[in-house]
A and B are shown apart, each in its own frame.
Chain A
Amino acid sequence: AQSVTQLDSQVPVFEEAPVELRCNYSSSVSVYLFWYVQYPNQGLQLLLKYLSGSTLVKGINGFEAEFNKSQTSFHLRKPSVHISDTAEYFCAVRDPNTGNQFYFGTGTSLTVIP
C-alpha cells in the first residue's frame, strides 16, 4: 500500500508571501500524484495533478507543484498567497497499476495572515 507524508501539519504565512507545502510518498514505482484543497465545511477540490511528462505542474488559483522522482516528493508552491487561500491542503497518490483508491496524507492547514 502507498503512504503519503505531509511534513507540516500547520503553516502560517503572511499575505503576499510565498509558500511551500511539502509532500513525500512511499513508492518508487510510477504513480499519479494530486493536490486537493478543502475549505471549511466543504468537500475536496482538485488543485492539480501529475500523471506523466513535465515535472512542473500548474494548477488553479496560481498553485504549482514539482514532481521529484528521486526524492519521491511532490511539493506544492505558490509565489504569493491571498487570504482566500486559507484552507486545508491534501496530497494524494494513486497507483495506476494496482489501485482504484486515493491514498491521502493527513493534510496541511494553511493560514494566511493579513
Chain B
Amino acid sequence: ETGVTQSPTHLIKTRGQQVTLRCSSQSGHNTVSWYQQALGQGPQFIFQYYREEENGRGNFPPRFSGLQFPNYSSELNVNALELDDSALYLCASSLPGTMNTEAFFGQGTRLTVV
C-alpha cells in the first residue's frame, strides 16, 4: 500500500503566475485536505475535499482552489501568486469514517514565489 504522494517536490514561480500542486491519496482514502506551512509556522488548513466536493475551508482567499477526482487524487491551484504564498504545501488523506481521528500526510511541495 503506497502512502500519500505529492508532486512536484519543489517549485519556483514568479509573482502573478498560477501553480497547480498534485496529491495522490493513500489507497482507499476518500478525504483529502490541504495545508499551508509557512517557514517557522505550523500548518494552516486551506480546505478539504470529500467525495469530489469541498467539505470545509479555512481562511484563505478564493484564488486558492481545488479539485478532487474520482480516484480521490486532488489538486491545489493557486492563482495570482504572491510572495507570501511561499511555503510548504501539505496534503493529508483520511479513511472513510475516520477523517476526524486520523490523517496521513505527504512529504509536501515546497513552493517558492520570487
Binding site for B on A (CB under 8 A): 4, 32, 36, 41-46, 49, 51, 90, 92, 94, 96, 99-107
Q: Count A/B pairs, Cβ under 8 Å.
A: 65
In the complex, which residues of chain A have a beta carbon less than 8 angstroms from the beta carbon of B43?
Answer: 44, 90, 102, 104
Knowing A43-B90, A107-B41, say if A100 contacts B58 (CB, 8 Å).
Answer: no
Q: In the complex, are the beta carbons of A101 and B42 less than 8 A apart?
A: no
In the complex, which residues of chain B have a beta carbon less than 8 angstroms from the beta carbon of A101?
Answer: 33, 45, 48, 56, 58
Binding site for A on B (CB under 8 A): 4, 6, 31, 33, 35, 40-45, 48, 50, 55-56, 58, 90, 92, 99-108
19 contacts between A and B (CB under 8 A): A4-B42, A32-B101, A42-B107, A43-B105, A43-B107, A44-B92, A46-B102, A49-B102, A51-B101, A94-B100, A96-B100, A96-B101, A99-B56, A100-B50, A100-B99, A101-B45, A101-B56, A103-B45, A104-B35
